[in-house]
Structure 1
Amino acid sequence: MAATGGRRRRRGRAGAGEGGAVLRRLREARDDLLSSGFWAASAGAVRAPLGGGAEPPARCVCYGLGRFSGCAAARLQLAFLLLLLEELRVPPGRCSLFDPAFSAQEEAALGELGLRLLPENEEGKHGVGGSGTLFYMVHCGKALYNNLLWRNWSAGTLSRMVIIGNSFRGMEERLLSRIFERDYPYIAKVLKGTEEVALPAHPRYLDTFNDTSVHWFPLQKLKELSPEVWDFTEEPTYQDCDDLEIIRREDRAERRSPAAAEP
Structure 2
Amino acid sequence: MIALALTDSATMLRRNLRRMIRYPSMTITLIGMPIVFLLLFVYVFGGTLGAGIGGPSGGRAEYVNYVTPAIILMTIAAVVQGTSISVAMDMTEGIVDRFRTMAIARVSVLTGHVVGSLIQAMLGIAVVTGVALLIGFRPSAGPGDWLALAGILVLMALALIWLSVALGLASKTVESSSNIGMPLILLPFLGSGFVPTDSMPAALRWFAEYQPFTPLIETIRGLLLGTPIGNSAAIAVGWCVVIALGGYLWSKRLFNRESTR
Range of TM-score over shorter length: 0.3 to 0.5
Larger RCO of the pair (alpha carbons < 8 Å, separation 6+): 2
Structure with bigger strand share is 1
Tell me which protein shows more helix as a share of its residues: 2
Q: Please give the TM-score of this superposition, normalised by the length of structure 1.
A: 0.33
TM-score between both structures, scaled by the size of structure 2: 0.33
